């Protein structure tokens, strides 16, 4: 059980960097919208929405680095 947990942790740790680069897509943006819609902290919700808007704008311009930067800000505001 413990060994399985560790293996799962390793898999996530190894996969995360690649996964994180691929968050600037419509499917994830929709997921973010849904998650933000469920937030209960109004101030954090506003912060996350603003960051996500900038992230979407960067995605439209094809700027992945900028998109991920604002995405990370949105994640932080969401407590992720």
Name the residue whose CB lies closest to Cu ion.
Answer: 32
Closest alpha carbon to 32 in 62, 77, 64: 77
Taking CB under 5 A as the criterion, the residue among 24, 32, 58, 77 binding Cu ion is: 32
Least CB distance to Cu ion at residue 24 (A): 9
x/- map, 33-62, Cu ion, by CB under 5 A: ------------------------------
Residue count at the site for Cu ion (CB under 5 A)?
Answer: 3
Is 67 an interacting residue with respect to Cu ion (CB under 5 A)?
no
Nearer to Cu ion, 23 or 58 (CB): 23
DSSP line for the chain: -HHHHHHHHHHHHHHHHHHHTT--SHHHHHHHHHHHHT---HHHHHHHHHHHHHHHHHHHTT-HHHHHHHHHHHHHHTT-
């Amino acid at each position: 059980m413990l060994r399985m947990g560790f293996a799962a942790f390793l898999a996530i740790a190894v996969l995360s960097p690649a996964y994180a680069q691929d968050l600037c897509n419509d499917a994830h943006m929709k997921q973010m919208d849904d998650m933000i819609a469920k937030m209960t902290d109004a101030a954090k919700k506003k912060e996350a929405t603003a960051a996500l808007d900038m992230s979407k704008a960067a995605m439209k311009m094809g700027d992945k680095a900028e998109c991920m930067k604002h995405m990370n800000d949105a994640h932080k505001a969401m407590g992720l």
